[in-house]
Structure formats: structure tokens, C-alpha cells
Amino acid sequence: MKTVTLSYSATHGFSTPLPVITAEQCLVLVFGHSCFANNSIPFDTLRAQYPQAIIMGCSSAGEILGKRIHDGGLVIAIISFESSQLRFAHSVVREIQDSRYTGRLLADQLSGEDLRGVFVLSDGLHVNGSELAQGFNDVLQGVTVTGGLAGDGEHFSSTWVLQNGKPVERVVTALGLYGNISVGHGSKGGWVPFGPAREVTRAEHNILYELSGKPALALYKTYLGDMATGLPATGLRFPLALSQPGEDKELVRTILAVDEATQSLTFAGDIPVGAYAQLMRANIDQLVEGAEQAALMSDTHTTQSVLCIAISCVGRRMVMGADAEEEVEAVLDILPEATQQIGFYSYGEISPYAKGDCDLHNQTMTLTTWYEP
């Protein structure tokens, strides 16, 4: 497996000339600013240069390339595979209630005896991420499913995903990897709960109405204080930790939208009635440590060329500010020396919690590693 990485800006074009790659099993990953929904030039160029390739990507809240974070452009990885095979599937999500069905549909299309992993990129605003993940779990057993939800900076207005090399809304894409390939994963947050844990007393799917019988939005605003005027973006600094009585697993949920009329909060994934929710916060050191733990969890030990796809949550970047590059540096410091890294800041991350079935996560650094043994 060989990987070439580069960037693109509307002003200067591609950072380096596009390499000549003739391998049949070729993948082009592209992550970039939401404004490229209206600029097809770089995507058209990539499709013309690599007609045999699968071109996959999405919009972001910041682009990761190596140890650096970029804004306003595109980051690109061109990967040629020597001993494994690729298969691509996509589906339109017309209604958010179709999210689980979409996951099942894509999983059915990719299911196969030699399937080693599935990488998913989804619309970030019109898909219920936890239902999407459950759809993959309904079909695939013993297969690592990872990925993320597209971002739009702090605007929460419009996201895109590449379908047939073109940026579109309301689409979920999935890549199946087959044969001789090693797929690793790791997902960790670093957030610390504070305040009382409150029972979810009224919720529907990913919309939270009441905590302990009180309007969720009003209660949330009491903790945010002056920052409440900046919702939903400022809510990314204080995600919710969800836990079920008697279970050790804790999932984190982050806000996508607020509704003053119903005093509700819309999250990227489901909020189960009967679960307990607790606010969380973090500092830079805790988030960097979380990124390090994600790298250790990926269990990637090899002298071969490794590709790491790093998907971190926009809320982490808001907390870390100018120091956000510390977490992407921390990942590469732990992974094997021959590792190249590309990724993006997202509205949600998809990965197993530790092992087994995948879940939707928020506010984590989630890593996917690939290499051919």
C-alpha cells in the first residue's frame, strides 16, 4: 500500500503535481471546507486524473494533514493498494427516520466473506448517526466499522459528501476493504463529567425534551450562562455523557440544534429515555491524552506503510483553539514511524466503543488505521 498526500486551495490549486498512479485498486480521500459544494474544479480534476479510483470524502470543520490542521481548502490522500480489494456503496437519506435502513442497505451491498473493514462518511445534519451505526450492526458481524459525519465549521448550515466524485447533501457513503489488509481502530475523548447526573424523562430519537422532568434547553442554559446566546455552537464545549443503569459503557452526545419553542435540544445520535445524562468539560491536556489513548487503542504495530484517518470532533477544536494541533501531533508520535495521517473535524464519529459493534461517538478522537501486511 502506497499513499501520497497533498492539499488544494482555490487560490493556489494543488500543493504538488498530481502523481501518476495506474494501480486498479486506488482510493482518493478528500476532506475540505463546506464552500467546495459550489466548486467542482478540484473534484473534476481528480476524477480525470484517476478514472479507475474510488473518490470518497466530505466537508469538515477543519482538515487534518500530517501534524497540521488546515482551513478553507482541501486535504487529499491518494492510496494505491497492492494485495487488497475495494468496493464502494452510497445511498440517499431522504428522511432522518431512514438512517437505520440506510445503514442496513449499505452493509448488505458490502457484505462478503473477505470483508475486513468498512469506512463510512455521512451527511452531518440530516442523518441520525446512532441509528445509522445500528443499521450496520444489524447486518455485519465481526467487521470493524468506522467513519464520521461531515462538518460545516461552527455554522451547522450545510454539509456535503462526495458521490461519484461530486459534493452532495443527504448522502451516506461506505467503503468496503477486502482481503489482505489490517484494519485498526481507536476512539477516546478525555472529557470529565461534572454536575449531577439527571434521568432522561422525555426524548424522541435524537431530540431531548426533558431531564428529570425539567425542560432540557432551559436547564442546559443555566450551565452555559453568557455562552447560551451562542447555541448550538457553544454547546460543543459542554457535551452530554450518557450511561444506562448497570452498564459500564458511556457514550457522548453533542448538540446539533436547539428549538426555543419546544425547549428541546437535537443531538447527533439517539438519547434513550431512562438513560442518565451528565454534562462534561475538558482542558487541553485531557483532550491530548484522549488522542494518545485512541492511538494506543488502535493496536497498530508494523514496519509497513500505514495510513491513519483521524476524525476528531469540532467541539474538541473549539476547546483547544490554537493548540488543537497538539492532539494530531500526539497521534503520530505514538503510531509507527511510517504512518501518514489525513482526517477532518466532524459532527460525529463512528467506531466500536472498544471492541465489537460500532457506535456513534461525539467529542472523541477516532482513528482508523490501514496497512497491508
Q: How confident is the model at residue 97 (pLDDT cuts 50, 70, 90)?
A: very high
Same domain, 181 and 58: yes
Each as own residue / partner, the long-range contacts of residues 212-220 (CB below 8 Å, 24 or more positions apart, any chain) are 215/263, 215/264, 216/263, 216/264, 216/265, 217/258, 217/259, 217/260, 217/263, 217/264, 217/265, 218/263, 220/265
Same domain, 242 and 330: no
* DSSP state letters, 42-60: HHHHHHHH-TTSEEEEEE-
Q: How confident is the model at residue 234 (pLDDT cuts 50, 70, 90)?
A: confident
Q: How confident is the model at residue 246 (pLDDT cuts 50, 70, 90)?
A: confident
How open is the CA angle 9-13-19, to the nearest 5 degrees?
Answer: 120
Contact 116, 183 (CB under 8 A): yes
Average pLDDT in the 305-321 region? Answer: 95
Residue ranges making up the domain that contains 224 = 192-281
Average pLDDT in the 17-46 region? Answer: 97
Residue 356 is predicted with a pLDDT of 83
Same domain, 269 and 138: no
Contact 36, 72 (CB under 8 A): no
Residue 250 is predicted with a pLDDT of 83
Residue 133 is predicted with a pLDDT of 97
Residue 245 is predicted with a pLDDT of 85
Same domain, 91 and 227: no
Closest by Cα among 4, 11, 18, 9 to 66: 4
Same domain, 166 and 87: yes
Among 217, 250, 281, the domain-final residue is 281
The residue type of 352 is P
Same domain, 301 and 348: yes
Residue 236 is predicted with a pLDDT of 85
The residue type of 82 is E
Among 246, 281, 316, the domain-final residue is 281
The residue type of 266 is T
The residue type of 149 is L
* CB-based contacts of 15, cutoff 8 Å, min separation 6: 6, 7, 8, 9
As a whole number of angstroms, the distance between CA 77 and CA 65 comes to 9
- For the purposes of burial, counting CB atoms within 10 Å of the CB of 301, is it exposed (0-12), middle (13-18) or buried (19 or more)? exposed
The yes-or-no verdict on residue 278 having pLDDT over 90 is yes
Longest dimension (CA), the chain: 61
Q: Is 246 helix (H, G, I), strand (E, B) or coil?
A: coil
Closest by Cα among 89, 86, 39 to 59: 39
As a whole number of angstroms, the distance between CA 263 and CA 261 comes to 6
Residue 181 is predicted with a pLDDT of 97
Same domain, 52 and 134: yes
The yes-or-no verdict on residue 354 having pLDDT over 80 is no
Cell 457506535 found at: 359
Same domain, 86 and 27: yes
- Domain count for the chain, please give it: 2
Residue 315's CB is within 10 A of a number of other CB atoms, namely 31
The yes-or-no verdict on residue 124 having pLDDT over 80 is yes
Among 235, 253, 281, the domain-final residue is 281
Residue 353 is predicted with a pLDDT of 82
As a whole number of angstroms, the distance between CA 284 and CA 321 comes to 9
Same domain, 250 and 294: no
Residue 235 is predicted with a pLDDT of 87
As a whole number of angstroms, the distance between CA 62 and CA 69 comes to 6
Same domain, 263 and 290: no
pLDDT tens across 166-183, in order?
Answer: 999 999 999 999 999 999
Residue 183 is predicted with a pLDDT of 97
Question: For residue 233, what is the DSSP state?
Answer: G
The yes-or-no verdict on residue 358 having pLDDT over 80 is yes
Average pLDDT in the 88-95 region? Answer: 97
Same domain, 308 and 169: yes
* CB-based contacts of 142, cutoff 8 Å, min separation 6: none
Contact 254, 348 (CB under 8 A): yes
Residue 249 is predicted with a pLDDT of 78
Average predicted confidence (pLDDT) for the chain:
95
Residue 248 is predicted with a pLDDT of 77
Residue 103 is predicted with a pLDDT of 98
Residue 247 is predicted with a pLDDT of 81
Same domain, 249 and 100: no
Residue 4's CB is within 10 A of a number of other CB atoms, namely 15
